[in-house]
Structure 1
Amino acid sequence: MEHVGYLASLAIGISLGLIGGGGSILTIPILVYLFKIDPKLATSYSLFIVGITALSGCFSHYRLGNLKIKSALFFGIPSVFSILVIREVIILKIPNVLFTINDFQVTKNFLIMIVFAVLMIAASFSMIYKNNPQIHSSGTNYLQLALIGSVVGIVTGFLGAGGGFLIIPALIFFANLPMKQAVGTSLLIIFINSSIGFAGDLYIGTPINYAFLLTISAIAFMGMLIGTQLSKKINSAKLKPLFGWFILVMGIYIIIKEILSF
C-alpha cells in the first residue's frame, strides 16, 4: 500500500494548486490508511506536508495576482492564537480512550477522524449549493473574517488540517473574493496555520521522520505545479462545486471506513 500512498501524494499538491484546499483532506487519509501512521502523528505530519506545499503555491498565485495579503492576515492571525491554545494545551489533556459503550471504545484517534469527516461534509454543502457569493456585501467584513479565522484555527489545531475546505468558503462569503483569489489567498493562510501548528508539535517533542516527510512533500510539490497550471485553464465557477463534491465523497468515505474498522 505504500507504493499507492506515494502515488496518491501527488494528488495532495494537485488539490492545493487547483482549488486551494483539500490537501489535508487527502493527506490525513493517505497517511493513516495507506502508510498506517497513527492518526495523532498523522495530524503533525499533515501540517508539515500541507504547509510546505502551500508555501510553494503562494509564489505562483502571487504572480497571477490571486493573493490578497490583507485578507490573509486578518484571517490568519486569529487562527494562530487558536492553534497554539488547542495544540499546546487542550489536545494534550484529552485521554486516548474517551469512553466505552458495550465494549466499544471511543478513542481520541477515532474522534479525530470522525470530527474531521463531519466538518468536511458540512463545508461541502456551502460549496455545492451557494453558487453566487456576490449577493452578499460588496466589501470585506474583516471582523467576521477574523472570527471565522479563530474557528478555523481550532479545527487546524485539533485535526492537523490546513483548513482550506473551511477557509475558501469564508474568503468567498466574508471577503467577497472570486474563487481563484480565494484559492491563492487560502494557500498563504494554510501555510501560516500549518507552520505554527507544526512548530508547536516540535516544541512538545513529537517524533518526526524527516526523510519520509521530505519525500512526500517533494511529491506533493510536483503535484502543486501541475494543479497551478491547471487552474489557469479551468473556469473558476466550475471549481467551487467540484471541490464541494470532492470533499463530500471523502467525508462519507472516512466515516464509513472508521465505523467498519470496529
Structure 2
Amino acid sequence: MLLASFFGVVMGLVLGLTGAGGGILAVPALVLGLGWSMTQAAPVALFAVGSAAAVGAIDGLRHGLVRYRAALLIALLGAVFSPLGIYLAHQLSEKILMLLFSLLMVLVAARMLRRETPQTGPSDHGAASWGQKNCLLDRQTGRLAWTARCTATLSALGAVTGMVSGLLGVGGGFLIVPAFKQLTDVQMRGIVATSLMVISLISLIGVVGAFHAGVSIDRVGAAFIAASIVGMMLGRRVSAKVPARTLQVGFAGVCLAVAGFMLVRA
C-alpha cells in the first residue's frame, strides 16, 4: 500500500504540473510497480486521474481559467466514445494492449521533446504548423468564437480522447493539451485548466462504465487514488516555479524509460 501511495503522489504531481501525462504514468505504475494486469489497472488509473484532475479543475474555475463550454463539448463526445474504448479493451489481448500503450508513450515523449517556435502576440504557446488556427478567441469578449469549424474540431478531439481513454485507461490530457496549443489561441494556463476539467469529466464516465461492467476497487487502489489527489495539490502549488522546458524533457525521459519496460514485459 505504501508503494501504491508513492506512485499515486508522483502521478498527481505530474498531472498538476503539466495538465497532462498523469494518466499515462498511472497505468504503468500499477502494471509494472504493483503487478496488475492492464484491464485491472485501467479503471483505477481513470478514477485516480479523474479525482486529481477534478481538484485542479475546481481551482481553475475559481480563477476563471477554464474554457468550460469547450470542456463540456469535448467531454460530451468523450462520454459517447469512452464505452466503445472500454469494450475494445476487453476484446484485445494483454500483450496487444501493452504494445499499444508503449507506442503511445513513445509518441507522447517525441511530442514533448520537440521544440516549438515562439509566437508573438497575446498567446504564450507555439505557432500552428498548419494553416489558420481552427478556434480563435473573440478579442472583445475574450471567449472562443463558436464557428462551425471550431465546433467540429473540438467534437473530433472529444471523440478521439474518449476512445483512447476507455481503451487504455488514460485521461487524455496528452491529446487535449497539444491539440489546444495547435488549434486555438488560448493561453497555456487556460489550456491546462480546461484540460483538467475535460479529464475529470471523461474519467468519471469511464469509471462509471467500468463499475457497471463489474469492476471493483480494493484498498490498494483506494490508497493510490487518495495519494494522487495529494500529488495534484502539490503540483498546482509549485507549477509556476518550474521551467516548462525542464518539465517537458524530464517527463519525456520518464515516458521513454517506462515504454521500454512495458515493451520488454509484453
TM over 0.5: yes
Say whether residues 1:251 and 2:251 are aligned partners: no
SS in structure 1 at match of 2:241: coil
| Contact residue 142 and residue 175 of structure 1 kept, 8 A | no
Instruction: Kindly report which structure 2 residues correspond to 1:22-37, keeping only aligned pairs within 5 A, or say none.
Output: 22-37=21-36
Partner Cα distance (1:255, 1:214) in 2: 25
1:75 maps to what in 2?
74
Provide the aligned C-alpha RMSD in A: 2.2
Q: Deviations over 1:10-64 (max 9, x none)?
A: 1111111111112112211111111111121101110111111111111112223
Moved over 6 A (4+): none
Q: Deviations over 1:104-134 (max 9, x none)?
A: xxxx222222212222322333343334456
Q: Which amino acid aligns with 1:146?
A: S
Instruction: Kindly report which structure 2 residues correspond to 1:116-131, keeping only aligned pairs within 5 A, or say none.
Output: 116-127=101-112, 128-131=114-117
Change (3 A) 1:81 1:130: farther
Partner Cα distance (2:84, 2:3) in 1: 35
Change (3 A) 1:242 1:151: farther
Cα displacement (A) at 1:143: 1.6
Cα displacement (A) at 1:231: 2.2
| Contact residue 4 and residue 224 of structure 2 kept, 8 A | no
Cα displacement (A) at 1:197: 0.7
Change (3 A) 1:10 1:169: same
Structure 1's unaligned 5+ residue stretches are 95-107
Name the % identity. Answer: 26
Say whether residues 1:208 and 2:223 are aligned partners: no
Partner Cα distance (1:115, 1:244) in 2: 22
1:102 maps to what in 2?
none
Q: Deviations over 1:48-81 (max 9, x none)?
A: 1111111111111222332110121222211111
Which protein has greater RCO, CA pairs closer than 8 Å, 6+ apart?
A: 2
Partner Cα distance (1:150, 1:129) in 2: 28
Cα displacement (A) at 1:155: 0.8
2:236 maps to what in 1?
228
Partner Cα distance (1:249, 1:231) in 2: 19
Q: Which amino acid aligns with 2:234?
A: I
SS in structure 2 at match of 1:176: coil
Q: Which amino acid aligns with 1:250?
A: V
1:175 maps to what in 2?
184
1:49 maps to what in 2?
48
SS in structure 2 at match of 1:129: coil
Change (3 A) 1:68 1:4: same
Partner Cα distance (2:250, 2:74) in 1: 24
More off after superposition, 197-206 vs 56-65: 56-65
SS in structure 1 at match of 2:66: coil
Q: Which amino acid aligns with 1:119?
A: L
Structure 2's unaligned 5+ residue stretches are 119-124, 137-143, 145-149
Change (3 A) 1:35 1:82: same
Say whether residues 1:199 and 2:208 are aligned partners: yes
1:98 maps to what in 2?
none
**TM-score, normalised to structure 1's length?**
0.83
**TM-score, normalised to structure 2's length?**
0.82
Say whether residues 1:58 and 2:57 are aligned partners: yes
| Contact residue 110 and residue 258 of structure 1 kept, 8 A | no
Q: Which amino acid aligns with 2:79?
A: V
Cα displacement (A) at 1:247: 4.2
Change (3 A) 1:64 1:198: same
SS in structure 2 at match of 1:135: coil
Partner Cα distance (1:14, 1:160) in 2: 18
**Aligned match for 2:159, one of 145, 150, 153:** 150
| Contact residue 53 and residue 224 of structure 1 kept, 8 A | yes
Q: Which amino acid aligns with 1:202?
A: F
